Structure 1
Amino acid sequence: MGEKGRFVLPPDFRKAVRDSGLGERVLCIAKHPRWKCLTGFGLSRVAEFENELDREERVALERGQDFDRDLRAQQLYGFARVPFDDSGRFILPERFFKLGALTDAAFFQGGGKQFTIWSPDVLAEMGAGWEDAQEACLDLAQQARNGKGRK
């Protein structure tokens, strides 16, 4: 977290979010449905939510599992629209600090339709399968401490 309590959306993520938002500088943020982290995406992803709900419901039925469409819809549509400036700076709404266990640092991971935003401490506890993300997070933190990267 930088000055005035703002985080900075990394350049690659910033471009993807802006492009998927038809040029609008709006980051959509929500709580990840399973992990103790946040998800981020551009505005165009919202148009896919109904198809995603249909697909998830169909898969659950095929597997003989319950599917609470209302709960899942609430999770998908319960995101916040957060504007960011040309430098990627944005102010994270207060509720997301608790939902994502964030304090003064965040690690952005992934790509595709959405990405995740992690507390470095929570990411460090994720276990097997997360080694690459954990090492990348540690490397970026070291660069920031050495003044070679953005904080």
Structure 2
Amino acid sequence: MAGAEVNFNGQGFSPAGDKSRFVLPPKFRKKIIEASEGRTLCLVADDTLNCLVGFGLSRENQLSQQLENEKRAAETLGKPFDYVTRSQQLFGYEEISFDDSGRFVMPSYLASLANISGGLYFRGGGPFFTLWAPEELHKMGPGWAQAKAGCAEMEAQAQAKAKKK
């Protein structure tokens, strides 16, 4: 597995296709392929936000380091740390293949955890990106204003394109 670290920035939108198919934005797809040396998207439900988190296999080493850092920090502060629970949160991701065009099938259990039924908004977040149902993103507070505006614009563009067909 490749170890190249990547950062995801920017945004994208994919309308829901048949059979819960979505398309990774080209910019994200390219980074996953380069860093992971393959077409595997990793998805996991976020443990605090009502969205999914996506990344490539290359992030696995970072997750191991994050787990150990969190354990050491808790020990230093004399706080309890549930290693098993935190490990399953970090490593409980689903590995999903995507084709050359970035198409992938969203597992129904992940879609239900993030209330994804229609379009899917992608938002870069450094070593990972988030995937949102637009309705869930629009419930977020003012700190998410730019993401909400970008999502609304991209969703409107996708709807206008669909009407032309």
Structure 1 residue runs of 4 or more that deviate by more than 4 Å after TM superposition? none
Deviation at 1:63, TM superposition (A): 4.1
Q: Look up the SS of the partner of 1:17 in the other structure.
A: helix
Answering whether residue 141 of structure 2 is matched by residue 120 of structure 1, we say no
Q: Look up the SS of the partner of 1:146 in the other structure.
A: helix
Q: Percent identity, aligned pairs only? A: 41
- Match of 1:145? 159
For structure 1, list consecutive stretches of 5 or more residues without a partner in the other structure. none
Deviation at 1:119, TM superposition (A): 0.9
Match of 1:48 among 47, 56, 62: 62
Aligned partner letter, 2:123: Q
Answering whether residue 58 of structure 2 is matched by residue 27 of structure 1, we say no
Deviation at 1:46, TM superposition (A): 1.0
Deviation at 1:16, TM superposition (A): 1.3
Answering whether residue 27 of structure 2 is matched by residue 12 of structure 1, we say yes
Q: After superposition, where does 1:57-68 map in structure 2 within 5 Å?
A: 57-68=71-82
Answering whether residue 18 of structure 2 is matched by residue 3 of structure 1, we say yes
Q: How many residues align?
A: 147
Deviation at 1:99, TM superposition (A): 1.1
TM-score by length of 1: 0.91
Relative contact order higher in (CA < 8 Å, ≥ 6 apart) = 2
Alpha-carbon distance between aligned partners in 2 of 1:67 and 1:37, rounded to the nearest angstrom: 24
Aligned partner letter, 2:32: V
- CA RMSD of superposed structures (Å): 1.5
Alpha-carbon distance between aligned partners in 1 of 2:77 and 2:93, rounded to the nearest angstrom: 28
TM-score by length of 2: 0.83
Deviation at 1:64, TM superposition (A): 4.2
Alpha-carbon distance between aligned partners in 2 of 1:18 and 1:4, rounded to the nearest angstrom: 24
For structure 2, list consecutive stretches of 5 or more residues without a partner in the other structure. 1-15
Deviation at 1:29, TM superposition (A): 0.5
